[in-house]
Structure 1
Amino acid sequence: MLRGFLVVLSIALTVFALADCVQTEKDKVRGVPKWAWVVLIVLLPWVGPITWLVVGKDRPNEGGTDRPRRDGPTAPDEDPEFLRRLDEDIRRERRERRQRDQGGEGTGGSPSGSPNT
């Protein structure tokens, strides 16, 4: 009984892996050419189908979709352009504050040129 179950399971696994391999687009097949995968799946019971299912083709991302991975920054603090603009804004505000402070006090101000805080 157990032997029969294992034979049926082996055949089912082989048929499933073979169908998956045949339906997979050529650009998603990894390792060896598609025809070689078919030969491996058919000639090596258990090993061929399991190897195909584990490493044979590119799978979708962890999100379950086949979207392309985003290469750019994912948050504002990772975006170099955002950080550059932020730094420019901070410098401009400090410069304006320094000019206001120096304008209100006459020519007095800190000798180092840094803002009075």
Structure 2
Amino acid sequence: MLRGLVAVLSIALTVFALADCVQTEDDKIRGIPKWAWIVLIVLLPWVGPITWLVVGKDRTGPAPKRPQRRGPSAPDEDPDFLRKLDEDIRRERRERGQNGSGEGPADPDTPRS
């Protein structure tokens, strides 16, 4: 059972590395030519595919582009929203202070006496 699992893993790794090598552009292949990598991957189980995955391909290229969002991503990052919120809070505190309703201090952060 264990030998069968090792054989299946070896074949899967070889197929994966071979497909990756064949699909890789020639200018991103390091070390030896593509045809030599293919021979190495096919003829040396485990060693060939692992060597290809570790050193055979230049993987330092630019990261895949993500769609760029315009403007802030959340309300707390929007300076206009924060400015309006601050103005609303100040106006509400002034209105509470002018009404004199006796519900407590105009500033909720101020402790009661």
Per the normalisation by structure 1, the TM-score is: 0.53
Please tell me whether residue 65 in structure 1 is matched to residue 60 in structure 2: no
* Structure 1 residues 1-117: aligned runs within 5 Å: 1-60=1-60, 65=63
Shift of 1:59: 0.4
Cα distance between partner residues in 1 of 2:64 and 2:55: 17
Between the two proteins, what is the percent identity of the paired residues? 80
Cα distance between partner residues in 1 of 2:57 and 2:10: 20
> Which segments of structure 1 move beyond 6 Å, counting only runs of 4 or more?
none
Shift of 1:66: 5.9
Shift of 1:60: 3.3
- When residues 46 and 5 of structure 1 are mapped into structure 2, their CA distance, relative to the original with a 3 A threshold, is same
- 2:52 partner letter: W
Q: Are 1:60 and 1:66, in contact at CA under 8 Å, matched by a contact in 2?
A: no
Show CA shifts across 1:69-93 (max 9, x none).
Answer: xxxxxxxxxxxxxxxxxxxxxxxxx
Task: Give structure 1 stretches of 5+ with no counterpart.
Answer: 68-117
- How big is the alpha-carbon RMSD for the aligned residues of Structure 1 and Structure 2? 1.7
- When residues 48 and 24 of structure 1 are mapped into structure 2, their CA distance, relative to the original with a 3 A threshold, is same
Show CA shifts across 1:3-38 (max 9, x none).
Answer: 000000000000000000000000000000000000
Cα distance between partner residues in 1 of 2:8 and 2:47: 16
Task: Give structure 2 stretches of 5+ with no counterpart.
Answer: 66-113
- 1:25 partner letter: E
Cα distance between partner residues in 1 of 2:9 and 2:64: 30
